[in-house]
Amino acid sequence: MATLTFQIPDNRMQDLIDAWTAGWPAVITDGVVNTQAQTQYAKNNIKREIINRVQEYLAEQQPDFPIT
């Protein structure tokens, strides 16, 4: 399986995390702390975006269904 790796300067890593975690709630409801780490939430959002883009691309590549 292939691996895609990015190198991000340490001093910019928090910027990347913040950009991908807009809407991440530190507290869910009634003072209950969110057990999903902000970094994991960012990783999931990035992964989801890559998957969606590939799916969109593949859908665009499909020929029209030949029915008359």
Q: What is the pLDDT of residue 21?
A: 92
Listed in sequence order, the residues at least 6 apart from 16 whose beta carbon sits closer than 8 Å to its beta carbon are 8, 42
Buried/exposed 33-54: b ≥16 CB within 10 Å, e otherwise: eeeeebeebbeebeeeeeeeee
Is there a domain that residue 47 lies in? yes
Domain of residue 53 covers 34-59
Is there a domain that residue 64 lies in? no
Q: Are 34 and 27 in contact (CB under 8 A)?
A: yes
Q: What is the pLDDT of residue 55?
A: 93
- Domain count for the chain: 1
The tens place of each residue's pLDDT in the chain, 68 residues long, gives: 999 999 999 999 999 999 999 888 888 888 888 888 899 999 999 999 999 999 999 988 877 777 87
